[in-house]
Amino acid sequence: MEFKEYYAILRKHGWIIVVLALLSGVAGYKLSSLQEPLYRASVQVRIEPVGLDWGRANAVQVLLHSYQVLIKSHQTAQQVINRAQLDMSTDTLLSQMQVSPDESNFTIRIDVENRDPQVAKQIAETTANVFIANRQAWNQNQQRNSQVDVSIRDYVRHVPQIRPKPKINALAGLILGGIVGILIVLLLEWIEADILRTPEKVERQLALPVLGGIPSSKKAEGSHS
């Protein structure tokens, strides 16, 4: 196709692309606005053995995964619920929590997602404090060189809203609607491809010059009148 043919297609069917893109964008924004917001609070806990050396560093890397399981246990969850006086089950609390160990810097990240940003922050910080208190109690029964120091590296500084994101969803809707519009336009052009509407298309398809044309009935009636 030549540029003028593409331009003709846009002039003829471009409104389809624009309308579908706008409708999809508005729908994405409206649907996102109707959703209840969800917030995430994050706390980092530092794990550091006393008298750190190569062997103990490797041992801590193994301990990180063990601590991950411990933090995600129903026993720890119940302690968090009791301390924070939360009105929820351990299953509900654990479903809102993600625990991610990082072996590169000996930390454990506790992420909590909740509809209430204050509750998310409370659960994250209480979980970290309960875990630290349990480790400190364990250290009391160990020799000093066998102890593992646990502390909060970063408290919750802010609790961002992670979803919905109306602007991103609106942009995605615009793009998706535009793509659907383009596909519809291409389909319409494909359906009309076999219809020779102009002398130029006839000459191009048949490789023969057009010697004349039969006027439409309306044009013929107009000429006779």
As beta bridge partners, residue 46 has 107, 151
Quote the pLDDT of residue 218: 55
Quote the pLDDT of residue 72: 94
- CA separation for the pair 17, 184 (Å, rounded): 8
Delimiting residues of CATH 3.30.70.1130 domain(s) in the chain: 38-163
- Report angle CA 214, 219, 221 to the nearest 5 degrees: 110
Over residues 109-159, the pLDDT tens digits come to: 999 999 999 999 999 999 999 999 998 888 888 777 677 788 888 788 889
C-alpha separations of 44 from 65, 76, 92, 119, 219 in Å: 15, 17, 22, 17, 81
Provide the whole-model pTM. Answer: 0.65
**What type of residue is 173?**
G
Quote the pLDDT of residue 2: 61
Does the pLDDT of residue 199 top 80, yes or no? no
Give the DSSP H or E segment for 221.
Answer: helix 217-224
Q: Which CATH number fits domain 38-163: 3.30.9.10, 3.30.70.1130, 3.40.1410.10, 3.30.70.2740?
A: 3.30.70.1130
Q: What does pLDDT average to over the chain?
A: 82
Chain-centre distance for alpha carbon 186: 30
